[in-house]
Amino acid sequence: MGVKERRLRLKEESRTNILDAALSIAKAHGWQAVSMRKIADMIAHTPPVIYDYFLNKEAILMDLAKMGFIQLAGRIQTAQQEHDLPEKQLESMWTAYWEYAFAEKELYQLMFGINTQGCCDDSNTPEAEALVTLFGKVIRQILPADQQSEEQVSVVYVFMWATIHGLISLNLVYKLNAGDFNQQVLLNAVRNVTTSFAD
């Protein structure tokens, strides 16, 4: 490995360490506790070193949110491939979405501005748009031929997303019923939509 490659690798490792430290602080103390100084302390550097990699704290949070969207899209894509029928794909995809929200609670909160200061509320990033595309392709398959316009697909997606995201948000903020109850609400919501187009 040449000098240039080694420098690039070290730079990427430092970037990753900064992101990991920020996420670790958030998991332990919440997003409001994340600061450049705390990140620097955790990676045994001074705050100015972090500015070599990120413009400010918001840039770190934005990168973490993008990372979350990429992870979430990967899980949703994997869930989709478990089934052939689009109705079952949607159930599996939304279940994967739900599971990610609780497995990666802090990232999910950051991605969607739940209990955080909204630095990452731009849902038009390519990483966030990937979710819309994944769900949209499957939703289009369950719609009657005369209702497959981009607008109708968006209406169905936003309705489903609002329902699932709302249930997740309620659970994250208010610690509602756990487990089977929520799973049943989630599946009922998805099935109500998919069966309404089968009639």
Q: 132 versus 114: which is more confidently predicted?
A: 132
> What confidence category does residue 4 fall into, taking pLDDT thresholds of 50, 70 and 90?
confident
- Give the mean pLDDT of 96-105: 94
C-alpha 99/C-alpha 171 separation (Å) is 12
What are the backbone dihedrals phi and psi of residue 148, each rounded to the nearest 5 degrees, phi first?
-100, 20
What are the backbone dihedrals phi and psi of residue 122, each rounded to the nearest 5 degrees, phi first?
-90, 95
Question: Within a 13 Å sphere around the CA of 140, how many CA atoms are in the beta-carbon half?
Answer: 11
Report pLDDT digits (tens) over 144-159: 989 899 999 999 999 9
Q: 85 versus 193: which is more confidently predicted?
A: 85
Domains of the chain: 1-54 (1.10.10.60), 65-198 (1.10.357.10)
Inter-residue long-range contacts of 146-154, CB under 8 Å, 24+ positions, other chains counted: 147/197
C-alpha 199/C-alpha 197 separation (Å) is 5
**pLDDT of residue 168 exceeding 70:** yes
- Give the mean pLDDT of 170-197: 79
- Give the mean pLDDT of 159-173: 88
Report pLDDT digits (tens) over 12-29: 999 999 999 999 999 999
**pLDDT of residue 62 exceeding 90:** yes
Judged by average pLDDT, the poorest of 107-121, 155-169, 183-197 is 107-121
Helical residues (DSSP H) of the chain, grouped into ranges: 3-29, 36-42, 47-50, 57-80, 86-103, 105-112, 126-142, 150-174, 180-198
Is the CB of residue 120 less than 8 Å from the CB of residue 110? yes
b or e along 133-154 (b: 16 or more beta carbons within 10 Å of the residue's beta carbon)? ebbbebbbebbeeeeeeeeebe
